[in-house]
């Protein structure tokens, strides 16, 4: 599964920090995620089954990664690792 950069950042943050609101994700991403646009990405990820959301006590949506989302992130890490190894091998 190909994981766009914004989706990968969101999954990394959700797996690392636990359930988050959209604005928390933007603030923790250090500029990698933009306000407004983050909710379009989150909506798309929810449609793909990578994250799920529920309306919390504050009335705002709280996002959590699904098992598929965690697997996709792990696969993306392995894939990136392979590419780095291949690049190192080519240089050597």
Partner 1 sequence: MSPRSGFLGVLVPDETTRRAFEETFADWRDEWTRAATPIERLRVSTRGWISVARLVALAICAGLGNSTTWAAFSMTLFATAGLSLLWVSWDRAPGQLPLSAGYFAVGAVLLVPQGFAFLMAPAAAIGLGTKRGHEPSVITVALMLFVTMVLLVGWVFPASNQMYREYVYSSLSGRTGLLTRGVPELNAPELIRQVRTGSVGERRAGISALSNRLALVVSAPVFFIFGVAVRRRLSVRRRWGNARFVAGASAIAVFLTCSFALSKIRSMWPVLAEQLSASRGLSIWLSSIVLCLAIGVLARSSNQTSEPGTEEPGT
The residues that touch partner 1, with contacts defined as CB under 8 A, are 22-23, 34-37, 39-40, 42-44, 46-47, 53-56, 59-61
Nearest to 65 by CA among 24, 27, 12, 3: 12
* Nearest-approach distance from CB 6 to partner 1, in angstroms: 12
* Nearest-approach distance from CB 31 to partner 1, in angstroms: 13
* Nearest-approach distance from CB 40 to partner 1, in angstroms: 5
Helix-, strand-, coil-residue percentages of the chain, each rounded to 5: 60, 15, 25
């Amino acid at each position: 599964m190909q994981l766009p950069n914004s989706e990968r950042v969101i999954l990394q943050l959700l797996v690392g920090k636990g359930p988050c609101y959209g604005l928390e994700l933007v603030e923790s991403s250090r500029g990698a995620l933009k306000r407004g646009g983050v909710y379009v990405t989150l909506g798309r990820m929810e449609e793909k089954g990578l994250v799920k959301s529920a309306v919390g006590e504050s009335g705002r949506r709280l996002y959590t990664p699904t098992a598929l989302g965690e697997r996709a992130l792990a696969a993306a890490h392995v894939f990136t690792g392979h590419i780095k190894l291949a690049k190192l091998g080519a240089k050597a």
